[in-house]
Amino acid sequence: MIPNRKKYLKQQAQNGQKIMGVLPALYPRELLWAFDILPAEIWDPPGDILRANAHLQATICPIVKRGLEFILKESASVNAGYLFPHTCDSLQNLATQVKDLIGTSQPVYTFYNPKAQFNKTTRRYYLDLLQDFQTTLETKFGPLNRAKLMAACELGSKIDIRWLTLQNARRADQLELTNPEYFQLVRAGEYLKPEDYLTLLNQVEVQAGPVHQSNRRLLLSGILPPHEETLSFLDELSVTIVADDLLSGSRRFPITQLDTPVDPFEYLTDRHFLLPPCSTRASNLKERIHHLQKMISESQVHGVLFNIIKFCEPELFDHRFLVKTLKQNRVPLLSLETELLPGISGQDRTRIEAFIEMLDEQVSG
Ligand code: SF4
């Protein structure tokens, strides 16, 4: 039911669709849609890392390595440039390297998201940033059509609303989706055209009541979900991930439903500042823990699974505090480290099994 990413993008490119490769994570997708550009996000492209290592330190996270490897391959589908949002120092450095040192046949764009503390000044900065980005895109793709931007915001708003509904349904066990199916659905938004993504989200049936009684419920936190084999292994153990605090997932959707867009730039700014707290936005740690605790209690989870990407500085910085505080609050948790390799290691299987046993003891005790 979900189109294969590679085939879908190839088909779109053959149809003349403008496609921009977008590195993680936050960017004004609606502005790109208004220029008829399809963002194809580059998080964890598969395959061996062959050429990228020559340009990067050994202690760089695999998202940056895989992103560079993808760029060096000069994908035929990406025909409208690359966009590097300012997510972390590693991605910012990569943007400079690709633009000024390594070079690519495609134009390179940057988008310097503000970091916390958020106030009137950062809001003003973000509005200016949007307008600057508009001007940059106009030099290459022609004048912005305001009506198209408005329509893009309305479409984005519908996606956000539907996403919120599905997220709530997942928490209430009202979706008949396995762990891999749920995250495939979430991640399809990384490459589908917005109208196709909305159609897909609308096709997912929300059942009237719980479809199963999951008594092994987890909240997943990190940048990306674990590999599909790990997610399937959790299904085998009757564990359901009912809520997420992922940068590639819920951290990119507003906490509450926004009003219908009236002014597109104001709407996009409101949306940005209504995103949940996140390590990559330098959110206050107390805010983050408060948000996590709220999700834990609202989703009635039994524990938290952290999926930490090796060498991810922003996440590692927060992780220590989050773990310490959750432990103090007697929330069971397990931290896995990933290098974004396929499959699941024997060690991870054992650790997950031991964690679930411990959860069962706590729940029954
Ligand atoms: S995994 Fe962490 S360090 Fe790597 S690109 Fe993402 S935020 Fe940056």
Residue 362 in this model has a pLDDT that exceeds 90: no
CA–CA separation, 210 and 183 (whole Å): 19
Q: Among 92, 224, 309, which is best to mutate for testing ligand 1, by the most ligand atoms less than 8 A from CB?
A: 309
Span 7-144 CATH architecture: 3-Layer(aba) Sandwich (3.40)
| pLDDT exceeds cutoff 80 at 213 | no
CA–centroid distance, 310 to ligand 1, in Å, is 9
Distance CA 64, CA 52 (A): 9
Question: Residue 54: its pLDDT value, please?
Answer: 95
Cα–Cα distances in angstroms (integers) from residue 337 to residues 2, 21, 199, in the given order: 28, 26, 34
Q: Does pLDDT of 363 surpass 80?
A: no
pLDDT digits (tens, 9 = 90+) for 158-184: 999 999 999 999 999 999 999 999 999
Give the mutation target among 92, 113, 283, 315 for probing the ligand 1 site: most ligand atoms within 8 A of CB.
315
User: Does the pLDDT of residue 365 top 80, yes or no?
Assistant: no
CB distance 226 to ligand 1 below 6 Å? no
Tell me how far apart the alpha carbons of residues 43 and 309 are, in angstroms, rounded to a whole number.
12
pLDDT of residue 164: 96
pLDDT mean over 88-99:
97
Query: Which string of DSSP letters, residue by residue, matches 136-186?
Result: HHHHHH----HHHHHHHHHHHHHHHHHHHHHHHHHHTT-----HHHHHHHH
Kindly indicate the confidence band of residue 66, based on its pLDDT and cuts at 50, 70 and 90: very high
Q: Where do the structural domains in the chain lie, given as residue ranges? A: 7-144
Q: For residue range 260-273, what is the model confidence (pLDDT) as tens digits?
A: 889 999 999 999 99
Q: Which helix (H) or strand (E) holds 338?
A: strand 333-338
Mean pLDDT, residues 147-155: 97
